[in-house]
């Protein structure tokens, strides 16, 4: 028994040593930006060693009878053996020192279960990841970002600013700021410590003058005041939170969303002004526009779209989260002009007051009615329809009559909340579609993705 246990211990020890050697060799992978500095450190060490050798040689020649110097210089060995032994010892000590230094410097950024080289490697690969622009708002956009951030650090979220309800609406009316709610959700989704930050940003004050306000909205409003502008405040928020990517408003104009809606059992359309009011009136949305309808797009959003390799529109509430971005005419023109691969992600479930009874084809038809044909290259939709949904919700059936856009369907539903997308499934599928179009990408491993936090 003792022999068996010793054998197991030896195997475990050999396995750990093998893993350590593998991690050590990973420092020499192409693209980490480490080898050049290692070579420079080796050169500097060699120069220092050469200088010390000249001093010691001079001392040895002038004091030939010093015993300790004879022993330290390994004079009894041949020169080639001395050079090899000292060189190997120096490289070993240098490597050990570099690993220790990196552990000490990067300790605040290393997650449990991850080595320093793994963190550096993933960071470098995300930095070389594809330039992806995601357009939308609400829970759908934050779900998408939560998955894509594991693949690339070149993410840009372009977010609607038409919200006029809740805490965002109050801040908009009292301070004259664009509504920060959807922007807040995206900042939380792109942060590393997402779970804690989500809880903090979603915290709503229960009473007093701040009752109903979320901390995240107040945080963004405060930064806008400190920096002198909403866009600079949003940029600083991303920097302070060390997010993986950028979050941009589609426009800085004070816009209102206006819908012409036909109530049930009525042929006359009713005009509704205000994003928060549109879903409250039962009926079908016939037309949607912004006031003013010539609001200029945020310039950085245009630049991101034109330089993107992939543009993802949705998921999210079709009429109140996705469409308000596309109704900014400069945004739509930039999407048409962009050479990126463009995908529209259809919702998993219908939404009361907006898309009751809609199938995938009707979602696309409504999109084309407002922004014209040819906006996207392909539509991605869920085809897993086996779960029961809460009252007033139904699955969006993958039906495509009359749709001229190529359609791709697969299982995208979150099993714990089947009316929403699964972050990991959605990101996996989008990246696979991009690779099919452009060829293999140098991407980090997916790793663990936190489940959707249910931001609203």
Mind listing the pLDDT tens digit for each residue in 343-387? 999 999 999 989 988 999 999 999 999 999 999 999 999 999 888
Q: Does 298 reside within a domain?
A: yes
Q: Does 306 reside within a domain?
A: yes
Q: Does 240 reside within a domain?
A: no
> Do 113 and 136 belong together in one domain?
no
Instruction: Tell me the C-alpha distance between 115 and 327, whole Å.
Output: 46
Closest by CA position to 250, among listed 222, 230, 270, 220? 230
> Do 90 and 135 belong together in one domain?
no
Q: What is the CATH number of the domain that holds 381?
A: 3.40.50.10680
Helix, coil or strand: residue 171: helix
Q: Are 131 and 125 in contact (CB under 8 A)?
A: no
Closest by CA position to 258, among listed 280, 284, 282, 291? 291
Radius of gyration of the chain (CA): 29
Helices 79-106 and 116-127 pack at an angle, to 10 degrees, of: 70
Looking at residue 119, what is its pLDDT? 63
Residues paired with 343 in a beta bridge: 312, 378
Looking at residue 453, what is its pLDDT? 42
> Do 79 and 152 belong together in one domain?
no
Instruction: Tell me the C-alpha distance between 423 and 244, whole Å.
Output: 16
How many residues in total does the chain contain? Answer: 456
Among 121, 148, 170, where does a domain finish? 121
pLDDT in tens, 407-426: 999 999 999 999 999 999 99
Look at the chain and report how many structural domains it folds into: 2
Neighbours of 287 (CB within 10 A): 13
Q: Does 326 reside within a domain?
A: yes
Higher-confidence residue of 72 and 433: namely 433
pTM of the model as a whole = 0.75
Q: Does 138 reside within a domain?
A: yes
Q: Which domain holds residue 136?
A: 128-160+250-438
pLDDT in tens, 185-233: 899 899 876 677 777 888 888 887 778 788 888 888 888 889 989 999 9
158: confidence class by pLDDT, cuts 50, 70, 90: very high
pLDDT in tens, 54-104: 877 777 677 666 666 666 666 667 777 777 777 788 777 777 777 776 666
Tell me: cis bond preceding 88? Omega within 30 of 0 counts. no
Q: Does 3 reside within a domain?
A: no
Residue 349 has φ and ψ, to the nearest 5°, of -125, 160
Q: Does 416 reside within a domain?
A: yes
In 318-391, beta strands by DSSP E: 341-345, 378-382
Q: Are 405 and 378 in contact (CB under 8 A)?
A: yes
Q: What is the DSSP string of 225-273?
A: HHHTSHHHHHHHHHHHTT-SSEEEES--S--EEEEEEE-TT--S-EEEE
Q: Does 214 reside within a domain?
A: no
Instruction: Tell me the C-alpha distance between 326 and 367, whole Å.
Output: 9
């Amino acid at each position: 028994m003792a022999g068996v246990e010793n054998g197991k211990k030896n195997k475990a020890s050999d396995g750990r040593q093998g893993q350590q050697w593998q991690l050590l060799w990973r420092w020499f992978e192409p693209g980490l930006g480490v080898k050049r500095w290692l070579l420079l450190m080796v050169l500097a060490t060699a120069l220092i060693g050469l200088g010390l050798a000249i001093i010691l040689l001079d001392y040895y020649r002038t004091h030939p009878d010093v015993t300790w110097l004879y022993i330290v210089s390994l004079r009894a060995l041949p020169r080639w053996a001395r050079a090899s032994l000292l060189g190997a010892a120096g490289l070993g000590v240098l490597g050990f020192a570099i690993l220790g230094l990196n552990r000490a410097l990067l300790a605040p950024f290393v997650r449990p279960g991850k080595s320093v080289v793994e963190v550096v490697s993933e960071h470098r690969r995300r930095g070389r990841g594809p330039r992806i622009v995601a357009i939308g708002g609400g829970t759908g956009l934050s779900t998408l970002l939560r998955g894509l951030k594991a693949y690339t650090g070149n993410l840009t979220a372009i977010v609607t600013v038409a919200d006029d309800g809740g805490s965002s609406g109050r801040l908009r009316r009292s301070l004259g700021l664009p509504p920060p709610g959807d922007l807040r959700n995206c900042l939380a989704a792109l942060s590393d410590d997402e779970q804690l930050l989500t809880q903090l940003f979603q915290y709503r004050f229960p009473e007093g003058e701040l009752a109903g306000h979320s901390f995240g909205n107040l945080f963004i409003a405060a930064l806008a005041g400190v920096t002198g502008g909403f866009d600079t405040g949003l940029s600083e928020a991303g920097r302070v939170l060390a997010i993986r990517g950028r979050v941009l408003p589609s426009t800085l104009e004070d816009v209102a969303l206006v819908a012409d809606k036909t109530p049930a059992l009525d042929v006359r359309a009713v005009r509704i002004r205000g994003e928060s009011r549109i879903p409250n009136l039962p009926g079908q949305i016939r037309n949607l526009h912004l006031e003013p309808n010539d609001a200029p797009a945020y310039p950085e959003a245009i630049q991101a779209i034109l330089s993107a390799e992939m543009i993802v529109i949705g998921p999210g509430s079709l009429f109140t989260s996705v469409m308000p971005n596309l109704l900014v005419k400069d945004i739509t023109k930039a999407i048409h002009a962009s050479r990126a691969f463009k995908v529209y992600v259809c919702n998993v479930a219908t939404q009361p007051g907006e898309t009751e009874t809609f199938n995938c084809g009707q979602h696309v038809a409504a999109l084309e009615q407002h922004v014209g044909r040819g906006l996207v290259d392909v539509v991605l939709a869920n085809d897993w329809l086996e779960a029961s949904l809460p009252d007033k919700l139904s699955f969006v059936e993958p039906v495509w009559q009359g749709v001229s856009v190529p359609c791709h369907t697969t299982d995208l539903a979150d099993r714990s909340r089947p009316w929403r997308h699964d972050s990991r499934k959605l990101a996996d599928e989008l990246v696979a579609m991009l690779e099919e179009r452009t060829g293999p990408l140098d991407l980090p491993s997916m790793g663990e993705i936190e489940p959707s936090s249910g931001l609203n």
